[in-house]
């Protein structure tokens, strides 16, 4: 069966007007491991370019990726790594990262993906936390060491501007945290160079890999992804070969990807966006993926779009915002660009309009997902009307199920807001070593169906599309009334003097919370509008109670010029809310 034969998914009709949707299931799910997916595509696209990394100068074909990942996999197996063992990686976007990923997928090891912005202490915690084998029944550990730690860590001395040497020093000073550290690029110092493993793998027999492949299946856990939420401590979601293979394949279908497509993918590989929506969706359709820089670089993205004749571009809103703030370089050509995905955070309408009018992404797709769902749950079709993509995240994905419930867990009527819940093949196995948090978000209904409660507020429409209306944690409750930051942010950026708007809640003695806005003044206007002008702008469309009580201009009056972001590019709203509270508490006048 062709991997590209799943286009045209529709929805089964629901017998009532309740908010529950079922993705079409006529097309069967693939039963591949991720290693088998790569092997399958290599038979079709051997000498075709698969992976381009301009900042390292690498241009790999499908065969080159398969050969390198096979060598690395054989070296890992020769070192005693077995299905279920954990291998950590902390690196930027590069060809070696992709090779390590597929090597783990071929040996049955579980790749523990670490955020490349982690401090040394955060990385050490993640390496220790993910070490236990108690939740991987496919493999029994052989020693106490295996029960407690990631066995190997792949990393680099630097990741973009992030200095990783402190972590390496601490790992060297604390023997036993990991068995071995492999340096992907740069001076290896006291550690093992990546090239050494390739040399070992080159002389190992293929039989060692064949033996490993018989000890695990497509339904085993292959990847631990730390949730990239902007509040609280991250949790490690357990994802399977089965969920990642099929979710990535369906994503590519919605975008109408073919083997002629070239995707510029700045989102990091440590996040589902870069890994699943980027790398795996492209490989499942025989395309080519471009990683323009080690970490996000808007200038490098523009260069890659033009020089590589990219047909697709992925990014979170903050990435697109940065791209649109730059002047176009001389000779810039985006005429090949047609599609891509903007997701990962609430998307202001003006950004989508810029994608169409400035970059020509007329077939862009809006999307919604979360790490715990491998990740995509809803995605628009490439040929959906632009207005639909501007206001919704499209339709539920094949083989997925979605419902919206109230606070009592009852399904609400179509058109009413509530919490979005997801069920189906793509759900995580749970949070690694965290049964309490797993049971809080994964709940069986009276019929025995397991539902993931996302914590996101949404509404279903009569055409079976979905609109994400906000994150419950971001909702501002003013005098008992719910206020949704996204609608205020969307209104604010419609003002000609505002390039960017981030809305948070600030505590208030009388109302409980009031609206605060961090704004970036547009360079296209000479004079900054008065704060009362901004409030009136909001009141004209949204009402008085939604006008910002406090306005903070980025880069002015002691307010930082940049906003805090997670490693995957999401705004850390809780940090901005804390900053706003501090500024107000200090007696700073309303701006």
- Tell how strand 49-53 and strand 58-61 pair up: antiparallel
pLDDT at residue 1 in the model: 39
pLDDT at residue 7 in the model: 42
For the residues 449-467, what does the mean pLDDT come to?
96
Are 20-29+239-471 and 477-585 the same fold in CATH? no
Mind listing the pLDDT tens digit for each residue in 352-385? 899 999 999 999 999 999 999 999 999 999 999 9
On the question of pLDDT at 220 being above 70, the answer is: yes
Tell me the C-alpha distance between 179 and 579, whole Å: 41
On the question of pLDDT at 229 being above 90, the answer is: no
CB 74 within 8 A of CB 114: no
Mind listing the pLDDT tens digit for each residue in 76-89? 999 999 999 999 99
Lowest average pLDDT, out of 83-92, 220-229, 350-359, goes to 220-229
Q: Which tokens hold the place of 574?
A: 């809780």
CATH class in words for 20-29+239-471: alpha beta
Q: Which tokens hold the place of 310?
A: 């990219």
Beta strands in 33-109 (DSSP E): 49-53, 58-61, 86-90
Provide the β-strand partners of residue 476: 483
On the question of pLDDT at 148 being above 70, the answer is: no
Q: What contacts 79, CB < 8 A, 6 or more positions away?
A: 152, 180, 200
Query: What secondary structure does DSSP assign to 532-578, as a single string?
Result: HHHHHHHHHHH-GGGS-SEEEETTSTT--SS--B-TTS-B-HHHHHH
CATH homologous superfamily for the domain 34-44+58-226: ANL, N-terminal domain (3.40.50.12780)
Q: How confident is the model at residue 329 (pLDDT cuts 50, 70, 90)?
A: very high
CB 405 within 8 A of CB 418: yes
Q: How confident is the model at residue 400 (pLDDT cuts 50, 70, 90)?
A: very high
pLDDT at residue 16 in the model: 61
pLDDT at residue 303 in the model: 98
Tell me the C-alpha distance between 22 and 422, whole Å: 10
Q: What are phi and psi of 262, to 5 degrees?
A: -130, 115
Q: How many helices (H) and strands (E) does the chain have?
A: 19, 29
Beta strands in 232-293 (DSSP E): 236-240, 262-264, 288-290
Q: Is the dihedral of CA 394, 400, 403, 404 positive or negative?
A: negative
* Domain with residues 477-585, CATH architecture: 2-Layer Sandwich (3.30)
Q: How confident is the model at residue 174 (pLDDT cuts 50, 70, 90)?
A: confident
On the question of pLDDT at 560 being above 50, the answer is: yes
Provide the β-strand partners of residue 504: 516
| Extents of the domains making up the chain | 20-29+239-471, 34-44+58-226, 477-585
Name the residue with tokens 């799943």: 6
Lowest average pLDDT, out of 388-392, 512-516, 564-568, goes to 564-568
Classify residue 289 by its DSSP letter: E
On the question of pLDDT at 143 being above 60, the answer is: no
On the question of pLDDT at 450 being above 80, the answer is: yes
Global model pTM greater than 0.75? yes
Which of 576-584's residues contact partners 24+ apart within 8 Å by CB, and which partners? 576/502, 576/504, 576/518, 577/504, 577/505, 577/506, 577/516, 580/504, 580/506, 580/516, 580/518, 580/550, 580/552, 581/506, 581/507, 583/550, 583/552, 583/558, 583/559, 584/506, 584/516, 584/550
């Amino acid at each position: 069966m062709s991997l590209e034969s799943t286009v045209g998914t529709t929805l089964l009709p629901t017998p009532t007007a309740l908010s529950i949707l079922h993705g079409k299931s006529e097309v069967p799910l693939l039963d591949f491991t991720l290693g088998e997916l790569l092997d399958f595509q290599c038979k079709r696209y051997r000498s075709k370019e698969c992976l381009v990394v301009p900042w390292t100068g690498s241009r790999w074909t499908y065969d080159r990726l398969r050969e390198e990942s096979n060598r690395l996999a054989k070296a890992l197996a020769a070192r005693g790594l077995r299905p279920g063992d954990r291998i950590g990686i902390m690196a930027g976007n590069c060809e070696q990262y992709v090779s390590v990923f597929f090597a783990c997928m071929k040996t049955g090891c579980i790749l523990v993906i670490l955020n490349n912005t982690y401090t040394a202490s955060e990385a050490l915690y993640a390496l220790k936390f993910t070490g236990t084998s108690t939740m991987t029944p496919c493999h029994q550990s052989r020693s106490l060491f295996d029960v407690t730690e990631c066995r190997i860590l792949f990393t680099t001395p630097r990741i973009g501007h992030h200095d990783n040497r402190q972590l390496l020093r601490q790992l060297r000073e604390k023997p036993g945290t990991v068995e071995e550290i492999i340096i992907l690029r740069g001076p290896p110092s006291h550690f093992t160079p990546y090239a050494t493993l390739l040399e070992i793998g080159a002389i190992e027999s293929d039989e060692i890999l064949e033996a490993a492949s018989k000890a695990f299946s497509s339904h085993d856990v292959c990847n631990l992804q730390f949730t990239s939420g902007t509040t609280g401590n991250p949790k490690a979601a357990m994802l399977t070969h089965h969920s990642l293979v099929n979710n990535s394949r369906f994503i590519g279908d919605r975008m109408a990807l073919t083997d002629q497509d070239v995707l510029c993918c700045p989102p990091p590989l440590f996040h589902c966006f870069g890994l699943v929506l980027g790398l795996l969706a492209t490989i499942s359709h025989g395309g080519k993926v471009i990683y323009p820089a080690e970490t996000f670089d808007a200038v490098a993205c523009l260069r890659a779009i033009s020089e590589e004749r990219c047909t697709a571009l992925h990014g979170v809103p903050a990435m697109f915002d940065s791209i649109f703030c730059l002047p176009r370089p001389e000779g810039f050509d985006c005429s090949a660009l047609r599609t891509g995905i903007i997701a990962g955070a609430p998307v202001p309408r003006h950004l989508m309009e810029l994608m169409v009018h400035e970059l020509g992404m007329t077939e862009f797709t809006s999307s919604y997902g979360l790490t715990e769902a491998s990740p995509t749950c809803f995605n628009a079709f490439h040929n959906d009307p632009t207005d639909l993509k501007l206001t919704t995240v499209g339709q539920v994905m094949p083989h997925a199920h979605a419902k919206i419930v109230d606070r009592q867990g009852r399904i609400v009527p179509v058109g009413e807001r509530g919490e979005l819940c997801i069920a189906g093949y793509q759900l995580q196995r749970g949070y690694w070593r965290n049964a309490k948090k797993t049971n809080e978000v994964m709940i069986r209904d009276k019929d025995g169906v397991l539902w993931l409660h996302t914590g996101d507020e949404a509404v279903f429409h009569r055409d079976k599309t979905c609109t994400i209306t906000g994150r419950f944690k971001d909702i501002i409750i003013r005098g008992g009334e719910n206020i949704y930051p996204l609608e205020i942010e969307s209104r604010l950026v419609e003002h000609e003097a505002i390039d960017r708007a981030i809305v948070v809640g600030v505590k208030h003695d009388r109302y409980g919370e009031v609206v605060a806005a961090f704004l970036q003044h547009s360079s296209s206007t000479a004079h900054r509008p008065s704060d009362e002008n901004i409030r009136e702008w909001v009141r004209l469309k949204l009402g008085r109670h939604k006008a910002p009580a406090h306005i903070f201009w980025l880069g002015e009056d002691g307010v930082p010029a940049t906003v805090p972001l997670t490693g995957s590019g999401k705004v850390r709203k809780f940090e901005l809310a804390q900053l706003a509270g501090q500024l107000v508490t200090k007696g700073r006048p309303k701006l």
